[in-house]
């Protein structure tokens, strides 16, 4: 969710703003409202859709498992644009590291606010490393080092080394079950009682978080260097996406696809889907210039950090209830869905007001 607000207007990717907006809209509006509604509908179709809008319990991959990889991937895609001054030598790299450190610290603390119980002000209930924002912070820091100091070949070598650094100990020292995987055991040993949900691992998967962001950065480099040949650029993104999806599925026979511990197979599979989505959005919006009916998604995409934080931390349902409690007899069991919809609608109006007044929160 690190948005490319440091780009010049000419450098901005319309497709990236819209793709980010789609993901945020799904996260803070459509998914909570849809799931609230579907849980009250007893039909196979509703249950099948509800299944895809939830995370896989362990091995496997559902539609909703793509949201977090997309956030990491998009943070990397904007990197070649936001780092252009440092890569060209117009600004010293030490300034880039100040920027990276600031983003790392802010995102890590915001992650603790969302899921680390930081606002509880109770040291005994605080969890240190538990959230998507923190995964972005770590992956972004790893990827930034490679992007700033390595060319394409060096970045590819870095991706391979990071995958091996994860795969070798995980394959030799453990299995890939919930109880026996090394990544979860490392988290339990290092974090102790500051560990959050024990079904998720974060420390060893930091290596593959870095891979996801680096693959996003490579996608950004492909787009940035291929703007004179947009059709071939689009095709390149598509072919890489297909290759990564196939490679991820094949690797899944040896290393299962498990998002909760961010296995290498899951990393490549999800990155492949991200490449395919970016290719589709880039081709439709930046190449063919089809923007009609899509600008409203930029309301979410250009204030993604606000959308995520407000959507996850602040509950507007009491406001909705205070002005609509008379609908309880009319809506019955669907009143909770109405509260969820009202909560999401208030957030939309806040973001819309910020967008109209050109207020964009950057990190």
State phi, psi for 258 to the nearest 5 degrees: -135, 110
User: Closest Cα to residue 205, out of 179, 187, 180?
Assistant: 187
Structure-token match 């820091």, residue found = 141
Tell me if residue 167 falls in helix, strand or coil.
helix
pTM, whole model, 2 decimals?
A: 0.94
125 contacts 133 by C-beta, under 8 angstroms: no
pLDDT bin (cut points 50, 70, 90) of residue 7 is very low
pLDDT for 313-352, tens place per residue?
999 999 999 999 999 999 998 999 999 999 999 999 999 9
CA distance 257 to 116: 26
Instruction: Give tens-digit pLDDT for 107-160.
Output: 999 999 999 999 998 888 999 999 999 999 999 999 999 999 999 999 999 999
Find all residues with CB under 8 Å of 153, minimum gap 6, and list them. none
Extract the tokens encoding 295: 């600008």
Distance CA 20, CA 16 (A): 6
Task: Give the largest Cα separation in the chain, rounded.
Answer: 66
pLDDT reported for residue 11: 57
Query: Tens digit of pLDDT for each residue in 174-216?
Result: 899 999 999 999 999 999 999 999 999 999 999 999 999 999 9
**Can you give the three-state secondary structure of 26-48, one letter per residue?**
HHHHHHHHHHHHHCCCCCHHHHH
* Cα–Cα distance measured from residue 260 to residue 62, given in angstroms and rounded to the nearest whole number: 12
Rg over alpha carbons for the chain, rounded to the nearest Å, is 21
Q: Torsion-angle region of residue 204: left (phi > 0), alpha (psi -120 to 50) or beta? A: alpha
Counted residue by residue, the chain has a size of 363
Q: State pLDDT tens for residues 24-49.
A: 999 999 999 999 999 988 899 999 99
Please say whether the beta carbons of 78 and 220 come within 8 A: yes
pLDDT, residue 216, reads 98
Q: What is the pLDDT of residue 10?
A: 45
Task: Tell which residue, 146, 140, 151, has the closest CA to residue 77.
Answer: 140
Cβ pair 99, 147 in contact under 8 A: no
- Residue appearing with tokens 């939309």: 348
Euclidean distance between CA atoms 10 and 31, whole angstroms: 33
Region of 43 please: left (phi>0), alpha (psi -120 to 50) or beta: beta
Q: How high is the pLDDT of residue 89?
A: 86
Q: What are phi and psi of 253, to 5 degrees?
A: -70, -30
Q: Cα(207)–Cα(262) distance, rounded to whole angstroms?
A: 9
SS3 content of the chain, % helix, strand, coil (to 5): 75, 0, 25
Instruction: Transcribe 275-337 into DSSP letters.
Output: HHHHHHHIIIIIIS---TTTGGGHHHHTTHHHHHHHHHH---HHHHHHHHGGGHHHHGGGHHH
């Amino acid at each position: 969710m690190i948005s490319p607000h440091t780009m010049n207007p000419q450098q901005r990717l319309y497709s990236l703003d819209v793709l980010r907006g789609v993901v945020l809209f799904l996260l803070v509006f459509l998914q909570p409202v849809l799931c609230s509604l579907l849980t009250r509908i007893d039909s196979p179709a509703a249950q099948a859709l509800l299944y895809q809008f939830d995370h896989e319990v362990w091995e496997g991959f559902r539609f909703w498992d793509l949201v977090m990889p997309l956030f990491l991937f998009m943070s990397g895609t904007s990197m070649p644009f936001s780092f252009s001054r440092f890569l060209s030598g117009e600004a010293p790299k030490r300034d880039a590291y100040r920027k990276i450190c600031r983003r790392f610290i802010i995102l890590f603390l915001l992650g603790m606010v969302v899921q680390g119980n930081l606002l509880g002000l109770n040291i005994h209930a605080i969890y240190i490393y538990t959230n998507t924002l923190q995964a972005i912070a770590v992956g972004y820091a790893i990827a930034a080092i490679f992007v700033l100091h390595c060319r394409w070949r060096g970045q590819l070598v870095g991706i391979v080394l990071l995958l091996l650094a994860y795969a070798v100990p995980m394959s030799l020292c453990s299995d890939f079950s919930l109880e026996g995987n090394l990544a979860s055991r490392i988290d339990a040993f290092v974090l102790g009682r500051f560990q959050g949900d024990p079904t998720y691992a974060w420390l060893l998967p930091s290596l593959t978080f870095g891979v996801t962001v680096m693959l996003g950065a490579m996608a950004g480099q492909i787009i940035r260097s291929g703007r004179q040949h947009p059709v071939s650029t689009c095709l390149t993104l598509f072919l890489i996406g297909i290759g990564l999806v196939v490679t991820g599925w094949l690797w899944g026979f040896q290393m299962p696809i498990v998002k909760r511990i961010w296995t290498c197979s899951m990393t490549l599979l999800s990155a492949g889907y991200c490449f395919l989505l970016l290719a589709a959005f880039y081709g439709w919006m930046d190449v063919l210039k089809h923007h009609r009916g899509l600008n409203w998604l930029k309301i979410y995409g250009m204030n993604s950090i606000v959308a995520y934080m407000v959507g996850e931390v602040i509950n507007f349902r009491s406001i909705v209830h205070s002005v609509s409690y008379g609908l309880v007899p009319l809506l019955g069991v669907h009143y909770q869905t109405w509260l969820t919809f009202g909560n999401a609608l208030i957030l939309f109006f806040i973001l819309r007001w910020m967008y109209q007044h050109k207020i964009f929160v950057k990190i």
